[in-house]
Chains A and B, each alone.
Chain A
């Protein structure tokens, strides 16, 4: 046993097995004492460990979307998710699946659409579905026979657009070819023209021949200033005429002030002992946050902050590095955009990078504070349970869980499972729930969660090999029933995680009680005061009309008077604001 491991075990023993929230010392290595360690392997019968999360449904992939002889076959991997209304759209390297989730505990497959080409990341907007395609087998006509000719007008690498007015019969209405295909993409609505959608395209694969798509160039920038490397593409889509979608810009967002288009990280380690970071030659995920006119670009060698108020012309306003990052992969803003969680896909997602020997700060999340146009690193998080050699594991895609007053995110870790992290205090992120299965089998296979997102009250996981999983949060000392209920009240019409929505909460007693639970937890107000507020609120709830308004207004004034000498005045003011809105609603209702 190494000295380091011994000291960690001692520390764990002393901390009563590192209960999150109880103030454990920051982990220095993956935990080897954890219910997630040593789970039985299996495709359909793997061992499971769950904490504060309940698996409510697992829907295996439909016929034709898996290889019976090889659960980990790349060609049928499930990929990213998008949501609209009561429908969930699941990407797959072989096409896409549409599920009816009216009853989240029983997703019903509505459509299985075959259209190979990987990765198949999806976004949805009204009657349009957008899909990323990068592979050489991709065909304009969605055929499964691949493209035999090395240069062919039949090959498709780029962004497909489907009309899904008829969910059973998606119809491809546009197919925008790009030089490196489309690995991922991001929808950015035009703030001035509701009829225009911009799509940021990230191509990360090799550049195709200019004989197949004129203008494509894989040359180094020194040899060809018009190289297809070192750029993203901006596609403009007229929503009433999507067939006219076209590339309108290929911004050089990595350029330096001297105009060198390869102006950011050139590759290598930031210092002795540091991780080796990829050169900044393409973006992976770009997460737009239209409500703030910002985007966070996870761009291979750097994390970028972009000003996207003019979506066709994104402007880089900051670029950060991190000595722990190998490959900047994805980004999530906190709801107030004051923090950005960047994640690192060390090993590309197909390798085991959560072993007991892997550094706890490598292959995880780095949480940045944003101050205007400046990003500053604050802390790190990695799913803490040691995984085996058989499990591909590293940070992957996640989304916010809209708990008012807190920054909570659910995230996929491939075969490392699902982890829910609270990063309200970015210096000390804390895991508050998880779910994990054992390896897919007794040999290494590609599997685990590609993305795990919260949508209108449930958590949906796209399992690469095992299908679609649905989870519910279980109340715990880290997340109360009121906080979960309040999160469920922040509803969305649709969710494309890379086009981040801003959550708002209705003025309800549940939201107030969520804040009260938080004040109880962090001793932001004396318990007796909290009990009194809760009782007054309960009383007001039984009233109607003017009486209700009067009681709520009085409660708001009473709580406001407490704010100044409270331990957590900001949260007390949040309570006041909600109660005031409730009073206003009561006044409207009384009229």
Chain B
């Protein structure tokens, strides 16, 4: 088995991101269909990582949603589609992990306005609501470049979240969370390389390794 994760489709029906509408019931989406899953304890750092990563991934979905109506490039559409599929898959896996541990699915509406929710704004690579709005006003080449630049930063933030998790005492000790984190790391890394290559072809300078914009975040690049 390659480092990968269980990501079956039944988990989060609640992934549809209403514009700022709070997700109705936070755990509803992840309830398994038949036998109740056994509840197993989770390390708080692992749990926080999963809940934050779901919100982080949810913002990638919000960003990818912008693509079809603002670009004329098929390769960018394909990229957005790929990101949507992979992030939804990973969210489904993480939702299942939370449900098995009796932990709540996070409020993903935060993804649209992280600055309204202090602690979430501290997630590396997240765009602010204003930055998201600005991105939505762009069209064509300007959008393509801004989107790629922002998404590279966003994905590098996810890499940093994995690094931060591995730096927390007691974290990553469970086989399944190790697998989830490894998979996210590999997926984001691969997508970053794709986006850098695409940005280069568009004539944009690939962004320098990200100094993350959020206050208090680590500036160390991995």
Contact = CB atoms under 8 A, between A and B. Distances in A.
Interface stretch (B27-35, B107-115, B143-151): B27-35
Interface in A262-298: 266-269, 276, 278-279, 281, 284
B6 A351 contact: yes
A329 B2 contact: yes
Contacts, number: 139
Contact of B6 (A93, A278, A345, A444): A444
A352 B185 CA distance: 22
A277 to B, nearest CB: 10
A121 to B, nearest CB: 10
A275 to B, nearest CB: 11
Interface residues of B, number: 50
B7 A350 contact: yes
A205 B172 CA distance: 13
B89 to A, nearest CB: 8
B34 A350 contact: no
A118 B173 contact: no
B194 A266 contact: yes
Contact of B35 (A284, A329, A352, A443): A443
Contacts of B137: none
Given A70-B40, A74-B179, A327 B222 contact: no
B78 A136 contact: no
B75 to A, nearest CB: 9
A136 B3 CA distance: 13
B123 interface: no
A567 interface: no
Interface in A420-439: none
B85 to A, nearest CB: 9
A134 B179 CA distance: 10
A204 interface: yes
B34 to A, nearest CB: 4
B168 A150 contact: yes
Contacts of A442: 33-35
A443 B162 contact: no
Interface stretch (A141-149, A481-489, A536-544, A583-591): A141-149
A405 to B, nearest CB: 34
A392 B179 CA distance: 15
A266 B179 contact: no
B209 interface: yes
Contact of A348 (B3, B37, B168, B174): B3
A351 B90 CA distance: 11
A137 B174 contact: yes
A268 to B, nearest CB: 5
17 contacts: A70-B37, A74-B174, A74-B175, A77-B1, A118-B175, A136-B172, A136-B178, A151-B167, A206-B181, A206-B185, A209-B167, A223-B209, A223-B221, A327-B2, A349-B1, A389-B9, A442-B34
Closest A-B pairs by Cβ, 6 of them: A348-B4, A146-B173, A349-B1, A74-B175, A69-B38, A75-B175
Interface of B: 1-10, 32-35, 37-38, 40, 78, 82, 89, 96, 162-163, 166-176, 178-179, 181-183, 185-186, 189-191, 193-194, 197, 209, 221-222
Given A269-B78, A350-B1, A350-B4, 16 more contacts: A69-B40, A74-B174, A77-B1, A79-B1, A204-B2, A266-B193, A266-B194, A266-B197, A267-B191, A278-B190, A345-B1, A350-B6, A350-B179, A389-B9, A390-B8, A442-B33
